[in-house]
């Protein structure tokens, strides 16, 4: 259920950006949700739609793009996917440990306005 509060935060960001640019209506909200963000994109989109009803973003299309989790090995520089169920940051090439480069995102990537 934490998606409802995340959706409200995303909607607030989208509405603020629309106001800053003098837009009266939001027609689409594009979200980027990392594979490791601990948020379900479909549920998040549902809540954005519900919370937007009756306001400037009411009826807006909500698009969710999943951002894959990737790490970069600190030893050899290789970039590689980090996948469930282990979510290991260990480099398969050299055994070094990688730093997460993407996959934790939870952001309003863009909005479309009128």
CATH of the domain at 10: 3.30.2320.50
Section 35-50 average pLDDT: 96
Say if 84 falls within a structural domain. Answer: no
Per the CB < 8 A criterion, the answer to whether 98 and 72 are in contact is yes
Residue 86 lies in a domain: no
Percent of the chain with pLDDT over 90: 94
When divided into structural domains, the chain yields a total of: 1
Task: Give the pLDDT score at 1.
Answer: 59
Q: For residue 26, name the pLDDT band (cuts at 50, 70, 90).
A: very high
Please report whether residue 14 resides in a domain. Answer: yes
pTM of the model: 0.88
Does the residue 50 lie in any domain? yes
Is residue 39 a part of any domain in this protein?
A: yes
Parallel, antiparallel, or unpaired: how do β-strands 79-81 and 98-102 relate?
A: unpaired
């Amino acid at each position: 259920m934490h998606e409802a509060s995340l959706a409200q935060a995303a909607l607030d960001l989208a509405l603020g950006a629309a106001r800053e640019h003098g837009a009266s209506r939001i027609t689409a909200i594009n979200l980027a949700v990392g594979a490791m963000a601990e948020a379900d994109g479909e549920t998040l989109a549902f809540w954005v739609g519900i919370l937007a009803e009756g306001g400037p973003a009411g009826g807006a299309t909500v698009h969710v793009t999943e951002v894959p989790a990737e790490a970069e090995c600190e030893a050899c520089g290789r970039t590689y996917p980090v996948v469930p169920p282990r979510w290991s940051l260990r480099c398969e090439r050299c055994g070094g440990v990688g730093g997460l480069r993407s996959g934790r995102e939870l952001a309003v990537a863009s909005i479309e306005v009128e």
